[in-house]
Chains A and B, each alone.
Chain A
Amino acid sequence: MNAMTRVLPRLAPESWRVVYAFLAAIVLFLIGEAVHPGFLGLASVETVLVIASFVGLVAAGQCFVVLIGGIDLSVPWVLNAGAVLLTTTSLGLDSRAPLAIVVTLGFGLLAGAANGVGVAWFGVPAVVMTLAMNGIVEGLVLGLTGGFTCAACSSYAPPLIQHLAHGDLLGVPAALWLWVGIIVLVSAVLSITRFGRATYALGNNPRAAALAGVNVNGTTILLYAASGLFSALAGIMLVGFGGQASLGMGDPYLFTSIAAVVIGGVNILGGRGYYLGAAAGAVSLTVLVSVLLALNMPDYVRSIVYGVVILALLLAYGRETES
């Protein structure tokens, strides 16, 4: 045992959880290959990773707010609104794509910042604030598009954005480059910047953080704004991938993004965890669903196995240490 501990690098429990999350993803890939030969083919793995990147983008925002003990339940309709805004603003034209992207991301940022203001300034519990925001955005999307019957609603995503979601760069899907960039960026922000340290401090003990000079309200608002931004970005990528927006397209991303974050070893009470783990969690969950789909499992089996695997992974390495 002593020899073991000497060989293995000394890692904090949170870091081990990132390692476990990656191991879980790899094991799930191997199980996929075992039950469905060809699952580990390059094209198949690429597809799984691209789909995982959409979950991963949402999980980046979710990770930010979970790190301060918050949660973002407004993901489904902020994402959905993002997708609708992108198509209705761009009308499928490349020339309008930059404007549409700015409008969409700006909207995500605003909706998220409003969440942050409610949580930070008005002291509304994050669950209530983001749940209300989800309803507000849902009502606005449905109402303003007339139940998605508007003329612009059937617009396609501009070819430029479809290319971004489907295209390759140096043999690797462009969506994966984007995700890798986001992973590096988010990890860097969290681990080496002042803002990142403020985030962890806030998650561990808000009072102590405030006494240490952390701008609690400002940091909270920025984190929620970032979450809204990432949801909107995921909406852009999804509409680029699927071509058109649809109502309810954001719904699966709520619980999946939370599951990805906790499977990735981020403490749901805040203060501990890394986005790299959440990214691995997003891959694990996507691989799991892909394997079950490849096996032609009926809906109900997929749903049950999904829940069982989440619980099994959490029981294996996500338990609270007894204090």
Chain B
Amino acid sequence: MPPDASAIALPRGSRLGHAIGQNIGLILGIAILLLAILGFVLVYGLEQRRLPGNFELTTTINSAMPLVFSAVGQTFVVLTKGIDLSVGGVVDLANAMAAVTMGKTLGSALFWSVVILLVGAACGLVNGLLVALGRLQPIVVTLGTLSIFQGLAIRVLPQPGGAIPPAFTDLLVNPNEPWALIFIVLLGFGWAAFRRSRPGVDLYAIGNDEAAARALGIDILRTKIIAYVLDGVLAAAAGLFLAATATAGDATTGDSYTLTSIVAVVLGGVSLFGGRGSAIGAIAGALITTLIVNILFFGHVDPLFQSFYEGVFLLIAVIAGGVIGGAIRRRR
């Protein structure tokens, strides 16, 4: 694309205008989240004749947790201009391992959680090595490893079952109070720290222009592997949350997180073309996706039509986001 004058000129507007232009995806994502919260409160209020309270907040947050974690994991890879189809497989594997290993006490559950997160890191490492060293496209690498991780998960837990200690469930997804929000806040702080670290800056550089990043001396191999390993760890954490919510394991329920994590990332304004977006947006996207399901439920929409409305909503959000974002960028 030939650089035209407007593209290389310094931003004319204020610093605020510049910030809005740079983070338009994130801002739109948060706007959609606010709309979704409003929509949920309205539908719930009309249906139940009262405002949603602590219980609704707790169940919504708890059910969103696996998606929040898998979407943030997906973000790291999408920022490098990649995509991770194996997220669902890692969630499956972590979920299955949790159900088999955790036993009855909180101590053993926590010990095995660490092991499971390390297994997730190993899964991510395999993806990262194949992409960065093997020079294969991320989509095909993770297509292959998806199948492998799913197979391993079924090997670990052939039939749904196993058990999760209640203390572990109380710790991760307390059914009475929305304590799980703490994990979301921690995730946000973790992201903020990563974003300012060397690998964080390098990640954006690679996503924007890999050749230029290489020319600047950025270690592409190391940065990509870090992205995939973090992705694997977070997908494994998603599996732990899923197990804690279900209080038992199933080696296939995690499959859906491959596609829903991509949806959440897109709704949160992370560009699938790399280099643009943030994990905060992905968290917003995950909450939006969960709220939409709740809105449809309380709106008495036939559950059989659920995926129809989800699909329509995704399209409207993405198309409207593109139109509004484009208009704002043109005005500047």
Contact = CB atoms under 8 A, between A and B. Distances in A.
Interface string B279-312: 0000000000000000000000010111111111
A135 interface: yes
A124 B318 contact: yes
By DSSP majority rule, is chain A's interface helix, strand, loop, or mixed? helix
Given A304-B151, A308-B144, A139 B314 contact: no
Contact of A319 (B135, B145, B146, B273): B135
A136 B311 CA distance: 5
Given A118-B315, A314-B144, A319-B136, A303 B151 contact: yes
A142 B319 CA distance: 25
A131 B314 contact: yes
Contacts of B308: 135-136, 138-140, 143
A132 interface: yes
Interface residues of A, number: 49
B314 A135 contact: yes
A161 to B, nearest CB: 27
Contact of A268 (B134, B139, B147): B139
B150 interface: yes
Contact of B150 (A128, A132, A138, A303): A303
A132 B315 contact: yes
A125 B266 contact: yes
Contacts of A146: 304
A143 B145 contact: no
A123 B322 contact: yes
Interface residues of B, number: 46
B151 A307 contact: yes
Contact of B147 (A71, A137, A306, A318): A306
A142 B307 contact: yes
Contacts of B140: 258-259, 262, 268, 310, 314, 318
B152 interface: yes
B272 interface: yes
B155 interface: yes
B154 A258 contact: no
Interface in B131-182: 134-137, 139-141, 143-155, 158
Interface string A215-256: 000000000000000000000000000000000000000010
B137 A303 contact: no
User: Closest 4 A-B residue pairs measured CB to CB?
Assistant: A139-B308, A303-B151, A135-B311, A307-B147
Interface of A: 71, 73, 118, 122-125, 127-129, 131-140, 142-143, 146-147, 207, 255, 258-259, 262, 268-269, 299-308, 310-311, 314-315, 318-320, 322
Given A314-B140, A314-B141, 8 more contacts: A132-B318, A136-B311, A255-B143, A255-B146, A304-B152, A304-B155, A307-B147, A315-B134
27 contacts: A118-B319, A124-B319, A124-B322, A125-B273, A127-B83, A128-B262, A128-B315, A129-B315, A131-B259, A131-B311, A132-B312, A132-B314, A134-B311, A136-B307, A255-B147, A258-B139, A299-B151, A300-B153, A302-B151, A303-B148, A303-B150, A303-B151, A304-B148, A304-B151, A307-B146, A314-B141, A319-B135
